[in-house]
Amino acid sequence: MKMKKAGIKYDLISYEEANHGLTNPEAEALKEKFKGMRLEYNKNADEKSWEDMSKFTQTIFYKF
């Protein structure tokens, strides 16, 4: 909670249904190599995270 104590405004977006590798369509193939890691591609979370990131970058880079 250091961000709150410092008075820094932030948004945290969590993709509850997503595991590591959510944006990597090849994540399933990596499960064998990295046993024990919860790797899984998630099409919905991938698309939603891209949309959220795009909106964020527009708010910080396109302030005119």
Q: Give pLDDT tens digits for 24-37.
A: 888 878 877 887 78
Q: Give pLDDT tens digits for 10-60.
A: 888 998 888 888 888 888 788 778 877 888 888 999 999 999 999 999 988
Neighbours of 49 (CB within 10 A): 16
List C-alpha distances in Å: 42 to 4, 30, 45, 48, 49.
31, 14, 5, 10, 10
Pairwise CA distance, residues 15 & 44, whole Å: 9
> Is 19 exposed, middle or buried (CB count within 10 Å of its CB: 0-12, 13-18, 19+)?
middle
**Domain range enclosing 44:** 2-61
- Give the predicted TM-score (pTM) of the model: 0.69
Contact 33, 6 (CB under 8 A): no
Number of domains into which the chain is organized: 1
